[in-house]
Amino acid sequence: MTSHYTLTKKTFLAGAQCIKRMWWEMYEPAAEETRPSLATRFRMEEGVKVGVLARGYIPGGRLIRRGGRSLNAILAESREAIADPSAPAIYEGVKWSAGAFRSQVVTLILQTTRHTCVGAG
């Protein structure tokens, strides 16, 4: 059983739908009840296609990998990409705000300009 769990958007939304589903997501992620339906898998595949098309909109950028990586690793790679002046865009980057209302921003494309970044998606 997991002793520490970071609440993700996916888990939060699962809990908003059904508390039991949230418990499964947190403590028994391999349970049959948490497996995505055919419709859900289709939506995820469509999302991947949209990401590929979006990357064609501003070519030559840097893709931030997700797939099973910790939020800290994704944030670190995103910060590194934002600091790199040679990348015209950052695909699927994450930015964390530590203000009064802490928030996580996930963008499809973060287009870099000389002095700022402009998010899309």
| Residue 111 to residue 9: CA distance in whole angstroms | 24
Number of separate domains in the chain: 1
Q: Is the pLDDT of residue 80 over 80?
A: yes
| Residue 73 to residue 78: CA distance in whole angstroms | 9
Structural domain includes residue 94: yes
Structural domain includes residue 30: no
Residue 5: its pLDDT value, please? 62
Structural domain includes residue 28: no
Structural domain includes residue 106: yes
Q: Which residue has the higher pLDDT, 13 or 1?
A: 13
Q: Is the pLDDT of residue 18 over 80?
A: yes
Residue 35: C-alpha distances to residues 28, 90, 99, 107 (Å):
11, 31, 36, 26
Residue 120: its pLDDT value, please? 52
Helix or strand or coil: residue 31? coil
pTM of model > 0.75:
no
Q: Which domain holds residue 109?
A: 60-120
| Residue 113 to residue 58: CA distance in whole angstroms | 12
pLDDT, tens only, 101-110: 555 566 667 7
Q: What value does the mean pLDDT take over residues 34-61?
A: 86
Report long-range pairs for 102-106 (Cβ below 8 Å, ≥24 apart): 104/9, 104/71
